[in-house]
Amino acid sequence: MGKIAFIGLGNMGAPMALNLVKAGRELAVYDLLPAGVAQLAAAGAQAAPSARQAVEGADIVITMLPASQHVEGLYIGEDLLAHIDPTALVIECSTIAPETARKVAAAAQARGIAMLDAPVSGGTAGAAAGTLTFIVGGDAGALARARPVLEQMGKNIFHAGPAGAGQVAKICNNMLLGVLMAGTAEALALGVANGLDPKVLSDIIAKSSGRNWATELYNPWPGVMDHAPASKGYAGGFGTDLMLKDLGLAAEAALATRSPIPLGELARNLYALHSAGGQGKLDFSSILNLYRKS
Burial 40-52 (b: 16+ CB within 10 A, else e): bbeeebbbbeebb
Whether 170 sits among the annotated catalytic residues: the reply is yes
Q: What pLDDT sits at residue 14?
A: 95
Domain ranges of the chain: 4-163, 168-290
Q: Please tell me the distance from the alpha carbon of residue 13 to that of residue 33, in angstroms, as a whole number.
A: 12
Architecture of domain 168-290: Orthogonal Bundle (1.10)
From the list 3, 22, 155, 170, the catalytic residue is 170
Per-residue pLDDT of the chain in tens (294 residues, 90 and over written 9): 689 999 999 989 999 999 999 999 999 999 999 999 999 999 999 999 999 999 999 999 999 999 999 999 999 999 999 999 999 999 999 999 999 999 999 999 999 999 999 999 988 889 999 999 999 999 999 999 999 999 999 999 999 999 999 999 999 999 999 999 999 999 999 999 999 999 999 999 999 999 999 999 999 999 999 999 999 999 988 899 999 999 999 999 999 999 999 999 999 999 999 999 999 999 999 999 999 876
Provide CATH code, domain 4-163: 3.40.50.720
pTM: 0.90
**What is the per-residue pLDDT for 270?**
98
Do residues 122 and 132 make contact, with C-beta atoms less than 8 angstroms apart? yes
Q: What pLDDT score was predicted for residue 294?
A: 62
Residue 10 neighbours by CB distance under 10 Å: 19
CA atoms within 13 A on the CB side of 229: 22
How many whole angstroms separate alpha carbon 255 and alpha carbon 253?
5
Quote the DSSP letter at residue 49. Answer: S
Cα–Cα distance for residue pair 106/234, rounded to 1 Å: 39
